[in-house]
């Protein structure tokens, strides 16, 4: 199947990867409405829908009349939930809905309806559509178990549908394909989810999952973002019930470590866990390392080893903790002045 510009997740084009075509010079043909009195190159035009006029926001000159109000002509309130929906355009179409255009006969009622429904299903069922519908339902179940956002769920569905259309992972285990699509959707939308977390939910082999991810990356033009310990920090701290101010210090420390390149090559789960252990120790809020290991999914010796490396570079991070002490001191002084 050929890829086009309006298709989500287009396939990679070899010509565009090797050759960078410069953008040719083109004249600016945009039509701009400028007030003849102000003659401001950046005009402030206001559309007054109540009077149907287009007015200059600086001098008040009426620039046009009889404008069309493109907003919706209805308002919906909580008390109108049981009333008829005033929208005449229908619901938004779902491009990943495999059964949107299918005809379904209800089996409820009597025996004749049940038999007619079975006969209609056998005569009109499309195997590919049925498999796609079932796969999308499985993806949605896995994403809900991982507490992922609806936007990321839709991105995962689109990626799976494109992989099915291109027949990229044909013959592979469906659960492995689902896990690979979820991981790449998280990387595309900069959502911190690691392979270990996805494997813990889907129970697939890491080797099979890695190969499926490589095949999808080599097929589609994906805008993958490098995961850092900062992406995992807020979620780990939230699960450990760490206060917001301490979470902010952990994020700043992880950013400084990333800038200095102190832990290059280490897994981001280990770095995030070690930063939490180091920061809570510096702030005299000691956290049990077993809890940190349980949340991060990393071994206790690995976390301790990375934390010792951070401890050895404590001088490069001391200014971050000095800022915390100065903020606490200023807060105490302000409270004393108020009293």
Question: Is pLDDT at 273 greater than 50 in this prediction?
Answer: yes
Question: Is pLDDT at 335 greater than 60 in this prediction?
Answer: no
In the prediction, which pLDDT does 285 show?
77
Which residue has tokens 């494109």?
Answer: 162
In this structure, are strands 62-65 and 53-56 parallel, antiparallel, or unpaired? antiparallel
pLDDT tens, 17-62?
455 566 677 777 776 778 888 888 788 888 888 888 889 888 888 8
In the prediction, which pLDDT does 318 show?
79
The answer to which of 2-11, 172-181, 274-283 has the lowest mean pLDDT is: 2-11
Structure tokens at 46: 């206001």
Q: What are phi and psi of 220, to 5 degrees?
A: -105, 155
| Cβ atoms of residues 210 and 194 within 8 Å | no
pLDDT tens, 142-199?
999 988 888 899 999 989 988 888 888 888 889 999 999 999 998 888 888 888 889 9
Question: Is pLDDT at 101 greater than 60 in this prediction?
Answer: no
Same fold, 128-219 and 229-333: yes
Mean pLDDT estimate for the chain:
78
- 321-330: Cβ within 8 A, 24+ apart: 321/249, 321/282, 321/283, 324/245, 324/249, 324/283
Question: Is pLDDT at 84 greater than 70 in this prediction?
Answer: no
Separation between Cα atoms, residue 287 and residue 237, nearest integer Å: 11
Per the model's pLDDT, the better-predicted residue between 184 and 116 turns out to be 184
Distances (CA, A) of 250 to 95, 243, 270: 41, 11, 13
Question: Is pLDDT at 7 greater than 60 in this prediction?
Answer: yes
In the prediction, which pLDDT does 166 show?
86
pLDDT mean over 284-310: 85
| Cβ atoms of residues 176 and 212 within 8 Å | yes
Which of 67-76, 122-131, 157-166, 258-267 has the largest mean confidence? Answer: 157-166
> HSE-up of 114 (CA within 13 Å, CB side)?
4
In the prediction, which pLDDT does 116 show?
77
Widest pairwise Cα distance in the chain: 83
pLDDT mean over 113-136: 77
Per the model's pLDDT, the better-predicted residue between 153 and 117 turns out to be 153
Separation between Cα atoms, residue 181 and residue 176, nearest integer Å: 9
HEC sequence for 239-301: HCCCCHHHHHHHHHHHHHHHHHCCCCCCCHHHHHHHHHHHHHHHCCCCCCHHHHHHHHCCCHH
Question: Is pLDDT at 315 greater than 50 in this prediction?
Answer: yes
Which 8-state DSSP code applies to residue 228? -
In the prediction, which pLDDT does 332 show?
38
Helix/strand/coil percentages in the chain, nearest 5:
55, 5, 40
Superfamily of domain 229-333: Cyclin-like (1.10.472.10)
First to last CA, the chain: 73
Q: For the domain with range 128-219, which CATH number is right: 1.10.472.10, 3.40.50.970, 1.25.40.10, 3.40.800.20? A: 1.10.472.10
In the prediction, which pLDDT does 180 show?
92
Tell me how crowded residue 257 is: count the other CB atoms within 10 A of its CB.
26
Spans of all domains in the chain:
32-69, 128-219, 229-333
Q: What angle do CA 85, 90, 92 make, to 5 degrees?
A: 120
Question: Is pLDDT at 337 greater than 60 in this prediction?
Answer: no
Of the pLDDT bands very low, low, confident and very high (cuts 50, 70, 90), residue 248 is confident
Question: Is pLDDT at 122 greater than 80 in this prediction?
Answer: no
pTM of the model: 0.64
């Amino acid at each position: 199947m050929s890829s086009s510009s309006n298709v989500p997740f287009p396939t990679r084009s070899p010509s565009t990867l090797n050759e960078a075509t410069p953008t040719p010079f083109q004249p600016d043909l945009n039509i701009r409405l400028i007030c003849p009195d102000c003659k401001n190159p950046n005009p402030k035009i206001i559309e007054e829908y109540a009077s149907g006029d287009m007015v200059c926001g600086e001098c008040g000159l009426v620039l046009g009349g009889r404008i069309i109000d493109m907003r919706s002509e209805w308002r919906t309130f909580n008390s109108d939930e049981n009333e008829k929906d005033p929208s005449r355009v229908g619901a938004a179409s779902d491009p990943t809905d495999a059964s949107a255009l299918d005809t379904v006969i209800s089996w409820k009622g009597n025996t004749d309806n049940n038999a007619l429904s079975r006969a209609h299903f056998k005569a009109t069922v499309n195997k590919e559509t049925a498999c796609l519908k079932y796969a999308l339902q499985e993806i949605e179940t896995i994403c809900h178990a991982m507490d992922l956002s609806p936007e990321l769920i839709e991105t995962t569905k689109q990626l799976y549908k494109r992989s099915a259309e291109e027949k990229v992972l044909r013959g592979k285990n469906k659960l492995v394909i689902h896990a690979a699509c979820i991981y790449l959707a998280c990387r595309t939308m900069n959502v911190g989810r690691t392979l270990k977390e996805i494997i813990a939910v889907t129970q697939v082999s890491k080797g099979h999952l890695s190969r499926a991810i490589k095949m999808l990356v080599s097929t589609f033009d994906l805008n993958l973002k490098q995961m850092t310990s900062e992406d995992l920090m807020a979620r780990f701290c939230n699960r450990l019930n760490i206060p917001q101010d301490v979470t902010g210090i952990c994020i700043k420390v992880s950013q400084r470590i990333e800038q200095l390149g102190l832990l290059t090559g280490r897994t981001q789960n280990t770095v995030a866990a070690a930063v939490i252990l180091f920061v809570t120790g510096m702030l005299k809020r000691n956290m049990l390392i077993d809890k940190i290991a349980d949340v991060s999914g990393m071994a206790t010796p690995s976390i301790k080893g990375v934390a010792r490396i951070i401890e050895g570079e404590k001088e490069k991070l001391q200014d971050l903790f000095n800022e915390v002490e100065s903020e606490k001191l200023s807060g105490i002084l302000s409270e004393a002045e108020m009293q």
